[in-house]
Each structure stands twice: as structure tokens, then as C-alpha cells.
Amino acid sequence: MNILVTGSNGQLGNEMRTLASGSANRWLFTDVTVVEGVETIPLDITDKDAVESICSDYSIDCIVNCAAYTNVDKAEDEEKLAYRINAYAVGLLAEAAAARGALLIHISTDYVFKGINVRPYIEDQPTDPLGVYGRTKLAGEKALCESGCRFIILRTAWLYSPYGNNFVKTIRRLTSERDSINVVFDQVGSPTYAADLAFAIFDIIENDKSQGCEGIYHFSNEGVCSWYDFAV
């Protein structure tokens, strides 16, 4: 099986790379930028021809889309860019997957919901994103659902790892630079270790668990805390 991973320089992509090193399948890691010393195929997922070409040239059987525009606040000022990466590009990946009969595993977010529930959201609850980031991610989900390709959407939350940019690394940096910092305590969620999400994806692919299981799923680690608790 030939598996294409997009956004491989990020948190989840790096964890997928670690797991794939022991796989008998052929894993291809791509990103829009190439890091020196890391084997990565350059790929702009917003380029229709490039997406179709790489899927055809490497006979891709499965795509894991880890690429995303994830700056929630900045998305308010860069809506077109966020939409292009989080929605338009997902549509291109879905078209390429559908043309080959390939499976597309797409990573989404809890931001597709309004975020006011006192209980955890379940998969079939109505979506109602508040900001640009959530709206663009929801648009990507809809593009995928309407594409006709085989897909699994994994919504996750509060991802952290040793790689990329995340809340844990930001807090560690700020506490080394300042005597005190302010962190909100009225927002709660489930911090999710990227390695655990990566293993779930790896298990689906390596053990061929996708048959009959296409759809939308929520994935997070157990437990709930506030941003303040997470920081402490």
C-alpha cells in the first residue's frame, strides 16, 4: 500500500513519520516546505495539478491530510488563505482520492462547534462554528463529505507534542521569559497527545480497519481541564 501524508513537518505529521519507519507499507511524506535533513517531498496541496500528479505518479492508495491553517486568531485577518488551505485544498485531495478509489483520512477540529456545551460533543451534534478558523475547517469537512471519495474525518482538540507549535511549548517559552503569565480558566477541553492520534491513524491503515467505517469520529485523550490547569 502507498500512503501519502501531507503537512508532515507539523506535530501529527512528525509523529506519523516516526511510526511509519517500521512499516512494510510505502509511506510518502510531503509538505509545502522542506526541512534540511528530513526526507520530504515538496507539495502544495492547493495546487490541483501537483496533487493529481503525485497521487498518480506514486499510485497512492491512502492519503492522510495533516496539513492545515491552524492559527485561530490570525485566521480572522487571513480568511482567504485559511479557506484555501482548510477547505479548497481538502476538496482537491478528495477529488484525487476519489479518482483512484483511495481512502482519505482528514484531521478536523472541535472548533466546528460553538463550544458552549457543558458535556462533550458527539459526532452527530449540529455544527455551529463561531470564527473563521472553525468555518473553514467545517467547509473542508463538507467538501470531503460531498466528494464521493472514501473518507474518515477525525476531529481532535488541544493537540500537543514535541514538534511544531502548540500550547505546551508556548507556555514553556513564556515562563522562561517572564516572571508571571495570564492564562484563561473558563475554557475547558481535552488535551490530546499527537502521538496517540498518530497511532490511531496508523492502526487504521496498517490493520486495514477502514472498511465499512467511513465517516466522522471524535478523537481525544481522556479527561478535561481548563487552559489554566493545562498550563499549571
Which residues does the annotation mark as catalytic?
133
**Core vs surface per residue 85-112: b (16+ CB within 10 A) or e:** bbbbbbbbbbbbbbebebbbbbbbbbbb
3-state secondary structure of 161: coil
Residue in 124, 98, 126, 101 with CA at minimum distance from that of residue 113 = 126
Query: Using alpha carbons only, what angle is made at residue 138 by residues 135 and 106, rounded to the nearest 5 degrees?
Result: 135
Chain centroid to CA 202: how far?
A: 14
Q: How far apart are CA 129 and CA 158, in angstroms?
A: 16
Report how far Cα 89 is from the mean position of its chain's Cα atoms.
Answer: 13
Judge contact between 156 and 220, C-beta under 8 A. yes
DSSP state of 95: H
DSSP state of 162: S
CB 7 within 8 A of CB 40: no
Torsion over CA: 191, 193, 196, 202 (sign): positive
User: Residue 157: in which H helix or E strand, if any?
Assistant: none
Per the DSSP assignment, residues forming a β-bridge with 156 are: 109
